[in-house]
Chain A
Amino acid sequence: MPGVASDSGGGASDSGGGALVPFNPEAQVAVVYPLHHGLKPPVSRLSISWSRGNTLRVSVFCPEPSVDDSGDEPGGKVVEVRLGGGGGEISDAHWRRIAYGSVIPFALLQSKKNAALTLSKMSMNSSPYNVDWLEYVIEYSKDINLLLGNPKLPPSPAIDDPKSVLKKGEEPTSLKAAWELLEIFYADKLSQVWLPERLVDWLADYDCLLSVSHSTVHSKLLSFQGELVRLQIVEDYPKYWEVMSSALAVGWLEIVVKMLRLHGSYQLDQLSNRETENGLVEAVAVLISKMPRMRPELESGKLGECFKTKPDFMKAWEKWRAQLNKLELSAFWFQCSHQQTREGLRNMLQIMLGNANSLSTATFNWIELYISHLLYIRPFTMGLESLYSLAQKCIQLKPMAGAHSLMGLIIGILGENSEVVLAECSRGFGPWMVAHAIELLTAGSDHAEVLLHQECLNLGGISLEELHRLVYAQVLSSHALTWQIAPIYLTSCMKQGMGLLEILLSKQPVQHNHLLLKNIEICRLYDLDSISSSIMKISGVYHWKHGRKDSGVFWLQQARDEVQLNRIAQQLFDSVGKTISDESFKQWEGLIQLLGSESKTAGGLEFLHKYRDFKKSLQQVCDGKTTDAARQAVESLISLMKNPSTPQRFWLPLLHDSLKLLNWQERPLLNVSQTNLLLNKLQELSLARLRPDFIEADLPPEGLSSIRLALATNLGRAFLEE
């Protein structure tokens, strides 16, 4: 939702707004948003629940229907509201592309930052921020900037349409415009010498964004371009001159020169009659295209002459100004009979000479006026301080009704007020912007660095930087397609990131296998063993209860959950049936097989595994196999009875099952010590019977005595044998 997008992005992200002016709780009135549910009013009750991330679900219940009500109205609705992130000028899918694309630059920068920090600690160097560091930041900034849209215009057509003055490129976004501003002022420190010219370029790219809500040079040009096709003698129209002056004021030289060449005096049939007039037009056009500019280079097709150093630039500037003055004082103006041309051209000269009134008339909002001042009145401006006072002056002269988010951002940057910059980034562009722009701010401003890295008790002991990363990670967590990248941001948070990551992971559904594996992989990556075993336990119980016993056991084993596994072993034993001939033997045999491979993880399972072996050999004995099988069965029996993990309550049933072995016809199968072991167990049982928690085995009435008898007989025979 566009409105709430930044406001309730979470946390105190926007309360930087509160830091702007002394916070007054009475003054702040929360915005009320409608929540459409499509039910017939009235509503009797609401119920709320947070889903993943910033998603809030609201259940709306209707009151009990009256008797005469028609019966097809629903009794309630559940609606989902996603707060924060996305919205506005950028589609959800585009946001996700940006979110995914910015992960690598962000992670790369963090790892470089960590490496630099380690290095600076080692060399006892106080600041990790050096020239190399700024290079990393600018690289990061450029990578992100590329994601936000392609600045390149489409290739120009082979035959240039002389009447198309504005080129159509990709629709620019405010987000990109804002990012570029931050890059210009914070990241690209090396280009600060050419700051005014960078701002000229910036406005040329993004003036159209302001057109949405305000009149701009761009919007005037656009509307004039529409009329241009129908106009016969352009120089007769005052608007032609107005628009050209405006474009000149903000430094769009190519457009002005191209438009000047549309002047009627250039037409072959008129050239002879309007020679002086044409000469003046051409002289102005030439002067415009020769304007000195302090910048390293100019793109092809752009006009002006480049100067890289200030002395060269100043020299050229004085010379150019002298030429302008000379033309201004020239006698040719009296010979120019076309009034509009004469006045229009002289006005353009005034603009280039820095006449404040002409500049003010030619521009439509403060930022345009500001750029025109930088270009023609203060071409040698350096440093932010004078830039800010100039901006304030321009705002007074041409205030903008209804603040545009970009304008707020510029004012914050020029005023070197990091709080305002943060607040504007948050308000205008949301959590993604803040989380990523912080890297530029901290690199570019000491004040911002302190502000963002200082730990604050009001925030629960974390820094603003961490808070904004947490808020952004929460936005990412809201969507099934983006939650997987939230861990990257959470692990860059020193204090609370892991806490949130644990909650995020434990809120992921376990029933879809691929999701479960992804989850476990993330746990492994960040050493979250307890979360991972809890996830596996949830999955194990889920499968067990939903009839997939094998998957259930598998995941419980992975979770090393001995309590549950022991219980399962017990349940299995109970369900196995009391006698070896039971049909269910086949059902659970496979399961025990599965349990077997890792039987060490749980005592109960080890018992069950041995019990399986015992039952198997006993089965063979019953099927009429040889004495060898019987010996095998005895081995299993003894090993079972010796094993401390065999539950006491199973001793009697085991012995009862083995009666046939104890009474083996051919010869005694148990030796003296083995028989003694079993007798001791019987003795132990009779003592245990006195305890209150003893569970009586389910045996036929004469069961115990027949076991006793068999053991005694066997003992006697074994003595004889030995």
Chain B
Amino acid sequence: MEKPVATLERGTTCSSWNYCGERLAAGSDDGSVSVFDSREPSSSSLTSSSKFKVHETGIVKIVWIPPEYGDAIACICADGALSIWEEVVEDVGTQLLQWKKCKCFKSSSSKALDVQFGVMGRSLKMVTACSDGHVKVYELMDPLELKNWQLQAEFQNVIDSVSSFRKASCLSACVSWNPQKGENQESSFVVGFNSNTPQLNSSKVWEFDPAHQRWLPVAELASADDKGDQVYSVTWAPNIGRPFELIAVASQKGIAIWHLGITPDLDGRLSVEKVALLSGHGGEVWQMEWDMSGMTLATTGSDGMVRLWQSNLNGVWHEQAAFEPTP
């Protein structure tokens, strides 16, 4: 049955596990972050090993940076500031580990809503989705220092690059990288918005075009009459060998499961097919996560339940099980 792993302090608002599931970072409404570790390698119960103040406002989201770049997290705060912190030994003599602020992105005009990291060849990319409907792609300039970021691209989440929406106001946004790290694979991510501008909302897949050094929209994950629907969450499934990609998109209509083709057509677009529309959480979907094989999708939402979804042998998606939190 279920087993308690850690106890969180009062005021904790969000949490995030690192790549191997051995460290937990928890953000609090007072702007501090606690990092939990297990005392012994074999033990599964975690205790707080360090706590540090990140910002004056509360923390709404924490994302771990890929382990190739150290033990580091990115925090999004309630006022939209985004800061990057890493755990290092500053003084070799004392061997004292501490969390150090590497970089803070703050803009008066827009808030950061989501941030995700992707390893692309030898470089680390950071995608942020902002409240003005802009998507920004940064590149880390120095692999050993998490402070030098260069803005590589900035665009709005629209297929037609000519249109621009100046007065967009977004409540939330969600970014998910294609988890594959293959050497010869172009990196891509999917992003969707929850905004007052219908054109920005629908989830679009963006792929890097190395020939022209720019990001191009290669697919839109919305049927004709759902294009303006606000998107709560998107998540790209790991692909261990399927001949297509699998992406889950949550909107007010439910959770849609999309198949995304792998080979582009003549226009460079990828074929898309909605294979399921699952309803369960009723209202907003808070979070969706694929398991390591990309066969099971776990979701949680405003009905306060955790639900697991799977496809059966006939390719039909259905709810496999649900968990109801009880005291």
Contact = CB atoms under 8 A, between A and B. Distances in A.
Q: Is this pair of chains taken from one and the same complex? A: yes
Interface of A: 1, 4, 7-8, 10-12, 15-16, 18-19, 23, 25, 28, 30-41, 43, 45-62, 64-65, 71, 73-83, 456-462, 464, 470-471, 474, 477, 480, 495-496, 498-500, 502-504, 506-510, 512, 530, 534, 537-538, 541-542, 544-547, 549, 563-564, 567-568, 571, 587
A27 B9 CA distance: 42
A54 B291 contact: yes
Given A8-B321, A458-B311, A461-B243, A564 B144 contact: yes
Interface centre among B26, B86, B241, B315 (most CB of A within 10 A): B241
28 contacts: A10-B293, A12-B313, A15-B314, A25-B318, A32-B323, A32-B324, A45-B286, A48-B287, A48-B289, A49-B16, A49-B289, A50-B292, A50-B298, A61-B14, A65-B10, A76-B15, A76-B26, A78-B6, A79-B3, A80-B5, A80-B44, A464-B313, A474-B291, A474-B293, A474-B295, A496-B242, A510-B67, A545-B86
Interface string B15-42: 1110111101010110000000000011
Contacts of A38: 4, 327
B95 interface: yes
Contacts of A1: 1-2
B68 A567 contact: no
Centre residue among A49, A508, A544 by max chain B CB count within 10 A:
A49
Looking at chain A's contact residues, the main secondary structure is mixed
B210 interface: no
B305 to A, nearest CB: 8
B324 to A, nearest CB: 5
A78 B86 contact: no
B290 interface: yes
Contacts of A542: 67, 70-71
B290 to A, nearest CB: 7
A563 B3 CA distance: 43
A538 to B, nearest CB: 4
B197 interface: no
A647 B120 CA distance: 27
A75 B323 contact: no
Given A23-B312, A461-B242, 14 more contacts: A11-B295, A30-B307, A32-B323, A36-B327, A43-B304, A51-B21, A58-B306, A58-B323, A74-B8, A458-B311, A461-B243, A477-B292, A538-B67, A546-B88
Contact of B4 (A62, A79, A530): A79
Contacts of A495: 241
A302 B320 CA distance: 48
B97 A33 contact: no
A461 B11 CA distance: 47
A33 B324 contact: yes
B227 to A, nearest CB: 26
B183 A530 contact: yes
A457 B315 CA distance: 8
A50 B290 contact: yes
Contact of A456 (B12, B26, B313, B323): B313
A57 B313 contact: no
B306 A48 contact: yes
A632 B72 CA distance: 45
Given A458-B313, A510-B67, A547 B95 contact: yes
**Size band of the interface chain B makes with A:** 35 or more
A509 B313 contact: no
Contacts of B314: 15, 18-19, 23, 458
A11 B293 CA distance: 9
Contacts of A33: 321-324
B327 A35 contact: no
B8 A59 contact: yes
B296 interface: yes
Contacts of B26: 59, 76
A545 B10 contact: no
Interface in B86-116: 86-89, 92, 95, 97
A55 B3 CA distance: 11
A48 B13 contact: no
A36 B22 CA distance: 22
B242 A47 contact: no
A499 B42 CA distance: 27
Contact of A509 (B3, B20, B28): B20
Contacts of A23: 312, 314, 316
A544 B87 CA distance: 11
A58 B323 CA distance: 10
Contact of A541 (B4, B68, B122, B326): B68
Nearest to A41: B327
A144 to B, nearest CB: 25
A541 B313 CA distance: 43
A56 B320 CA distance: 14
B313 A7 contact: no
Most chain B Cβ neighbours within 10 Å, of A19, A34, A460, A546: A460
B128 to A, nearest CB: 20
A43 B325 contact: yes
Contacts of B16: 47, 49
Contacts of B24: 78
A4 B295 contact: no
B56 interface: no
A473 B157 CA distance: 39
A205 B26 CA distance: 54
A80 B314 CA distance: 31
Most buried by A among B29, B42, B67, B122: B67
A4 B296 CA distance: 14
Interface centre among A7, A28, A35, A43 (most CB of B within 10 A): A35
A25 B292 contact: no
Contacts of B290: 50
A544 B310 CA distance: 42
Contacts of B143: 563-564, 567
A477 B320 CA distance: 20
Contacts of A503: 238, 240, 292-293
B4 A78 contact: yes
A716 to B, nearest CB: 44
Given A49-B16, A507-B19, A571 B144 contact: yes
Contacts of A77: 4, 6-8
A506 to B, nearest CB: 8
Q: Quick one: which of A36, A47, A77, A83 has the most chain B CB within 10 A?
A: A47
Contact of B11 (A30, A39, A64): A64
A498 B240 CA distance: 8
Contact of B291 (A10, A74, A458): A10
A71 B2 CA distance: 26
A546 B3 CA distance: 31
Given A8-B308, A43-B325, A458 B20 contact: no
Interface in B130-177: 142-144
B188 interface: no
Contacts of B286: 45-47
Given A40-B327, A545-B71, A547-B95, A508 B322 contact: no
Nearest to B69: A541
Contacts of B12: 61, 75-76
B306 to A, nearest CB: 6
A34 B324 contact: yes
A376 to B, nearest CB: 42
Given A23-B316, A474-B291, A500-B240, A545 B326 contact: no
Contacts of A545: 70-71, 86-89
Given A46-B286, A59-B15, A512-B41, A18 B313 contact: yes
Interface in B178-202: 181, 183
Nearest to A534: B68
B319 interface: yes
Nearest to B276: A25
B252 interface: no
A460 B241 CA distance: 8
